[in-house]
Amino acid sequence: MSKDEIQNWMLLAFAIALFFSFFKVYIMFNKPGVGLDTATQKDELVEIVTDALKCVDVKTYDANVVYEMIICEEFDWERYKNFNLNRFNQTVNTLYIIHEVDTIEELFESINN
């Protein structure tokens, strides 16, 4: 074999190895992770907070009271390990966006209708 043939074979081997490396990285990062689906968990928390807000009067609304009401009921702490007052407030802000409102009064009106 001549020097040029060896270089061509080495270049071909490098190209094949590079292709398989990129393919492996692509497969590794496009595989869903093991565990809970965070989008589903977020939707479930939105539903839980919406149901809790339906039971509260707008005039007596207090975020701490509603949060305590949610966690005192049959709340699955194993499933929602990261649910705290901050996460509750984020979920209420998500409800503002979902219902396209600006105030808590408008949110209560939108939820109850």
For residue 70, the Cα-to-chain-centroid distance in whole angstroms is 20
51 and 102 in a single domain? The answer is yes
Are 104 and 54 found together in one domain? yes
- Do 53 and 77 lie in a common domain? yes
Q: How far is CA 29 from CA 23, 24, 26, in A?
A: 10, 9, 6
- Domains in the chain, number: 2
Which residue, among 103, 113, 93, has the nearest Cα to 46 in the 3D structure?
93
Is residue 54 domain-shared with residue 76, that is, in the same domain? yes
Angstrom distances, CA of residue 38 to CA of 32, 50, 63, 64, 94: 11, 18, 23, 24, 15
In a shared domain, residues 98 and 57: yes
pLDDT tens digits for the chain (113 residues)? Answer: 899 999 999 999 999 999 999 999 999 888 776 766 778 889 999 999 999 888 888 787 888 888 988 888 788 888 888 889 999 999 999 999 999 999 888 888 888 87
Instruction: Determine contact, residues 103/65, Cβ cutoff 8 Å.
Output: no
- Which tokens in the block code for residue 52? 């809790």
Same domain, 46 and 99: yes
Q: Can you give the residue range of the structural domain that contains 6?
A: 1-31
> Does residue 60 share a domain with residue 27?
no
Same domain membership, residue 92 and residue 52: yes
pTM: 0.65
Alpha carbons 47 and 53: distance in angstroms, whole number: 10
DSSP string, 47-84: HHHHHHHHTS-GGG--HHHHHHHHHHSS--TTT-TT-S
Task: Identify whether residues 23 and 73 lie together within a single domain.
Answer: no
Same structural domain, 22 and 67? no
Looking at the fold, whether 16 and 58 belong to one and the same domain comes out as no
Q: Are residues 19 and 46 in the same domain?
A: no
